[in-house]
Amino acid sequence: MSELETNLGDVERILVRFRNKTLPHFINGKPDPGRSNEVFESVTPIDNSLIGQVASGNAEDIDVACQAAEEAFKEWKVISGKERKKILHKVADAIVDNACEIALVESYDSGQPLKFMSKAAIRGAENFRFFADLAPTARDGQALPADEHINYSIRQPIGPVGVITPWNTPFMLSTWKIAPALAAGCTVVHKPAEWSPYTAMMLSEIAHAAGLPAGVLNCVQGLGESAGKSLTEHPAIKAVAFVGESTTGSHITRQGADTLKRLHLELGGKNPVIVFDDADLDRALDAVVFMIFSLNGERCTSSSRLLVHEAIQDEFTAKVVARVAKLKVGNPLDPNTEVGPLVHDRHFQKVCSFFGYAVEDGAKIVAGGNAVAGNGNFVEPTVFANARNDMRIAQQEIFGPVLTVIPFKDEADALALANDTEYGLAGYVWTNDIGRGHRMAQNLDAGMIWVNSENNRHLPSPFGGMKASGIGRDGGDYSFEFYMETKNVCVALGTHRVPKLGK
């Protein structure tokens, strides 16, 4: 039996309980069938066959989950940081114990290759461990002495928070938001993406079984326009952390306005990778191919625009095309697959529409450019050449295994092209001129810049974008700044005299 056949058999064994009945919510420490009596279907993008039915949450389901989170917050907020650290480490241990099952389900549910999903669950456990270790000091503030007074600051958890996560690498991205919220002392109502709902339920069950108290982490399945909207408007929710596309981020901003919610929005990107003619071209080639074609190109930090110096444009583009021709497209449960199917037919149709846009606008398709025949949502890894920065393929977020190549003349031209987009999430610079690397990093309008590196994950560092790519930062203490309120305490010394009025 091949590894693919073994993995397919394991997925069937894991998913049998979800196939036989509707995937429920998880509220107040137990599965909850919901109150709407409505369901939606979840399919695998491998062949668009049915995985199972999922409970479609409504405002009443959200309200019950928010009440559970509000009640649990009373006790969770006063548990010591050391105790929260112990509990969250147990959650991390349990994630590691279940990592293989999480990876298989996520790969089957989202279409992401097992090659990458096998690491995603472990990264989720790392998120829990990292923030668990910070929990004992999360509330620490500053000593601020002054004449006749002593000032000091402390932090306290903001309250129940809403977490809305996307369908690309959903398990890892859920932990990236949920772990710091729990470490800070907040309780959570999680609304996962409807296109990849299964591992969210697994996370809730794993965390509760590992010792997380009932009501601290709740999960409500459902659609964005119903469950998501109700969550962002609910008065018990004090902050909303969202990962997704920019239009939805705008909707959430409006929905949270009446209750003055704190928002963290991690949104879209049209990220440039800039390759100068003095770069280490072999390393740059590896990074360019990896950052757009891994994870099916469904990655917010993918380098979807290749800005390459005109002196090496033809040579470097030819090397990219040669590498793309060797990429293995196939069933995501095959350990050798590098590019799997796109998550949903609607997204598949969107990505395929750009093949026509490219030709209409005058670009040349030099690799791929077609859907793969069959029932699944497979597309050929694609490269567009002879592109201009004003084309739709250069300005709109495609979010698939599609690379747009644009030449530049010099450093100033590269910078102007890179910044000429509504997005500002990430940027990548390849050059052996370290001064140029620093100049580009300082002048690029993006929240994160990597010089001579692919996307390298450093948990203490700030993660987030500028312009239409979002508001706020994740990572290290930046996450606690979002999930906590800072309070100042001023204590008068004995020598202080209060001004007298009316005496």
Q: How far is CA 426 from the centre of its chain?
A: 13
pLDDT in tens, 452-498: 999 998 999 999 999 999 999 999 999 999 999 999 999 998 877 88
* C-alpha dist (Å) from residue 367 to 43, 307, 327, 343, 449: 29, 17, 11, 22, 28
Backbone φ and ψ for 209, nearest 5 degrees, come out as: -65, -30
Q: Is the pTM of this model over 0.85?
A: yes
pLDDT of residue 145: 84
Arithmetic mean of pLDDT, 284-309: 98
Arithmetic mean of pLDDT, 310-339: 98
C-alpha torsion 376→105→265→468, nearest 10:
-20
Arithmetic mean of pLDDT, 146-155: 91
Structure tokens at 305: 């625009």
Which of 123, 132, 129, 73 shows the shortest CA–CA distance to 102? Answer: 123
Q: Is the pLDDT of residue 17 over 90?
A: no
pLDDT of residue 95: 98
Q: CA triplet 270, 384, 376: central angle to 5 degrees?
A: 85
pLDDT in tens, 360-388: 999 999 999 999 999 999 999 999 999 99
CB 400 within 8 A of CB 351: yes
Domains belonging to the chain, first-starting first, are 3-267+469-487 (3.40.605.10), 272-451 (3.40.309.10)
| Neighbouring C-beta atoms of residue 35, cutoff 10 Å | 15
Active-site positions? 266, 300
Tell me how far apart the alpha carbons of residues 128 and 42 are, in angstroms, rounded to a whole number.
28
